[in-house]
Chain A
């Protein structure tokens, strides 16, 4: 068996049928070994079923072994007393720019928006990610175990996104979620207009749509040529069209930055004109105006609890957006788009629960936890491996000091693939980021 066939066989065996076996820049992530761990007596939100009171979660060989209320604890297990604690799956953020817009925000580290043209579908976010961004560790301390890193929204096609595990690493390859699908970032509305290079198009919203349509017409021709060229060695790959053709062929997901209901409707028609699938609208602060249509079209929404007013297209945002989408049967997610909000997606979820309470309706904790765990895992096509506490899934687990929808809750212990990477019960250690390591400013004080 030649090496390529072997890789193909392995990937197929692992169930990740969408992965391209010859994809360059492959993941080199390998979890460290970890002891068998039993978290005992906690309140558990599995994201897959009802809340368990006084339940146990067992982690073994980096995977969830068992979850339930009456479970035998393996003799060799490290036992964590979960009494008074809450356990959830690791938090998943489907919209982050960590590593591409890093801290410190010096000009040379603004690597998230290529924006040299309206269409930069050729760039890949993973080639900008700085693994030393101190934001990764702070996000981990907020319980975040998996993230989609997206290019910015400055132009119509911002480039490809990448899914990573939130582990300390020297290279992005060592963070990449194995065999995860790629996404493409698209943006409608104000940003492509506002940031357009002077004298360049798009200058208007109609210019935006013309830009999308022209690009997909080119991609159709490219895809046709790619499909009919028998001798692949004679076929010159075009990086930009490769991403767009991937969208049309259903190999690459679409993450579309879009605020207004009317513009989401235009994008839905665009997807029908060219026959591609909209994975999710991001931000989508007016999604509540078209909730039924989004449900019918099976388009997911990733948004905030109640950010609003930061520009005209976000003026009609309402606090009940998330709950209204949930009630309409839309696949709903909370995202951060921020290095600080990512540290408290649990509180964002609590705010969205509260908005339902205000109108005397109920969103359950079981529903709300899915907004920040299983639902993004589904949209990122990794739900077969993470996103909920179910046997066989990656042991991505958070032990919270209290109800995660309390403002006082902190992520006390965070496990990624069974490895304990955050433990607030232990004395503080040196920062993970090489940038912060040994900084006199962090060590000095005037005691």
Chain B
């Protein structure tokens, strides 16, 4: 009986789910655009052909437009969860569905998360329930104490997920494995090899690349990094390491992005002067290691005040991607302006990782839109709809089916006699 209920519900979800982009007018909404327009009150957003077609108060609406009066609702761009294992990890620990990085010593920088992402991961639907429309999937450093972890991707969470692969290469400080004195020297030697390879690919075959035993996939992945065409994401926390990387980045003209940066506030002016973006967890305030002695709840606000372009992240577990909005809220509670926090979970990660077609509520952008009952960062606010490419997404997950199966107050017969309702 319970199984039948669950089955019927899932059929109902599938049939109510819109499969193609319609022309839709979201009327009388408050829009946090995450763009220069700031916040617009009592306005209409027109979705057409999967894109934002128009925004205004007196729009001429196409005859076929589905009108939705959403008075009192708040619209933001779909949120972006940055630094997540979403799609890669179904279950942490021990399972064959828990890949976090390369297990092959021969592949490090070339490791491509694209192949590790499973569009059928149950965590994707849960992430959508948090208003997340895209994720920057970043691998962990893998086998053989390699520092290069591999190539990140942008995962779009539509009912049919899309992946923009190879958007950046990740490099991770593993200070205890090699030691700083070795790993910075080694990094410079490796980058010098990649430059040689960029000038002349035959250098590889001729055995002229001597910093380490190279695989050609790693060299190829690092080409756009050394050419400054794609970001190098460096996982780093200690202030002195940040300075060393800033110097290296300037010298090699890299597009450096810092990930972690627990002690970033100490060298905030240096980071600001370099124009480097920092991906930061605003709740990281404990000295979990000797690289993070200065970890502080004020890190985020101080970096912003110094003029650093910050992106906010939450837990990197696939299962926590839906919670990114709370991390934005907690950053605001610790001094970050609301508009910056919103940009830091929408347009900034999109732009930093090379995408220009989503991340704001602006004409021409993909219609990736989250609709909320109120302030999007508040736990007591509900996500009421999520559009990705103009298509309304199902907002249910496997978790909800378990709830329906087991929780009596959710079951029709019980609901009638439930006197707790409305308590």
Contacts and interface: CB of A to CB of B under 8 A. Distances in A.
B417 interface: no
Interface in B87-144: 89-95, 122-123, 126
B286 A310 contact: no
Interface in A319-359: 319-320, 324, 327-328, 339-340, 343-344, 347, 350-351, 353-354, 357-359
Contacts of A410: 333-334
A347 B283 CA distance: 13
A439 B295 CA distance: 12
Contact of A364 (B268, B285, B423): B423
A436 B293 contact: yes
Contact of B406 (A289, A307, A359): A289
B382 A309 contact: no
A406 interface: yes
Contacts of A307: 319
Given A308-B399, A317-B399, A354-B380, A407 B330 contact: yes
B326 A310 contact: no
A310 B317 CA distance: 8
A287 B257 CA distance: 43
Given A310-B93, A312-B95, A288 B330 contact: no
Contact of A359 (B90, B265, B380, B410): B410
A445 interface: yes
Contact of A135 (B286, B379, B380, B382): B286
B198 interface: no
A277 interface: no
A115 to B, nearest CB: 17
Nearest to B98: A311
A315 interface: yes
A134 interface: yes
Which bucket holds chain A's interface residue count?
35 or more
A219 B353 CA distance: 61
Contacts of A288: 402-403, 406-407
A318 B76 CA distance: 26
B294 A439 contact: yes
A180 interface: no
A436 B122 CA distance: 42
A75 interface: no
Given A310-B92, A446-B269, A407 B329 contact: yes
Contacts of A445: 265-268
A335 B202 CA distance: 59
B172 interface: no
Interface of A: 103-106, 134-135, 138, 194, 288-289, 291-292, 307-312, 315-320, 324, 327-328, 339-340, 343-344, 347, 350-351, 353-354, 357-359, 361-362, 364, 405-410, 435-436, 439, 441-442, 444-447
Interface of B: 89-95, 122-123, 126, 239, 263, 265-270, 283-290, 292-294, 317-319, 326, 329-330, 332-334, 377-382, 399-400, 402-403, 406-410, 418, 420-423
24 contacts: A104-B287, A104-B293, A288-B406, A289-B406, A291-B407, A292-B408, A307-B319, A309-B122, A309-B317, A312-B94, A315-B91, A317-B399, A320-B407, A327-B407, A327-B408, A328-B408, A340-B284, A343-B285, A408-B333, A408-B377, A410-B334, A439-B293, A439-B294, A446-B266
